[in-house]
Amino acid sequence: MANTTVRGALSIHGQNPQFLVETVIRNRIYESQFWKEHCFALTAETLIDRAIELNAVGGVYGNQKPTEFMCLLLKLLQIQPEKEILIEYLQVDEFKYLRALAAMYIRMTFRAAEVYEILEPLLKDYRKLRLRHMGGYTLTFMDEFVDQLLRDERVCDTILPRIPKRDILEENGELGPRKSLLLDAMEGKSERGRSRSRSASRSDRSGRSRSGSAKSRSPSRRSGSVSDTGSRYVSRSPSRSRSGSGSPYRSRSRSISPDRMETDSPPRAE
């Protein structure tokens, strides 16, 4: 029949996968028009086309009518697709309601450690989602929806299977410590601030050392300039007279006495 679970399906939490949805909601899904027209003979491949057309998440609305989201969720529980197919559903970023549908199914059927490992990376998805309920539509976000799956006991008017808290799984060694995106961002900012302060201190030190060397070099230059200027104005010409005569002119020819001139002159021929 169309409402039976596929052959070879494994029991989840010790029972038929379809029994994870409450009996009242499950019977209303079987009687709904969307289930009869669009969910008949769906497979893991053809279900993607129906999930792309979703425009809201939720359980029941109006006069206890099931949403299309709940109808497709029950169909997933009925056909029980493989784990690799569900991971592919999550990795499709273009279709957010397909991702939300796969996250809901993983929360209801997978083990606790796998639920935390697979769904926690979705907390960085901040896209908007429409939530349909008894009062109409409200706005929510993908990270809030995933956080409700990990913390709350009832989501989309469906009681979720109980899973242990993350702290207990960490103590038992089944799950590693959680990596917080906020702490990583804060650590990155602190490391950047430290590197900037170090570079600033190094630049200050180098600037101070340069200024100190410039000051130490400036007096030597000034003294050299003073000595140069002083040597420029010193007269390098020879002394005018050593005898103390007042004549400014000095004769460089050898002085000859008149007696020496007479004796040295040759005799005249007669």
Q: Compute CA distances 254 → 2, 18, 80, 238, whole Å.
A: 147, 142, 135, 19
Determine the pLDDT at residue 120: 93
E strand or H helix that includes residue 139: strand 136-141
Distance CA 240, CA 247 (A): 9
Rounded (5°) CA angle 112-118-124: 125
**Tokens found for residue 129:** 């989602």
| Per-residue pLDDT at 234 exceeds 50 | no
Distance CA 177, CA 185 (A): 17
Pairing mode, strands 154-155 and 158-159: antiparallel
Determine the pLDDT at residue 265: 47
| Per-residue pLDDT at 255 exceeds 60 | no
Statement: the pTM of the whole predicted model exceeds 0.75? no
| Per-residue pLDDT at 19 exceeds 90 | yes
Which is nearest to 50 in space by CA: 67, 25, 30? Answer: 67
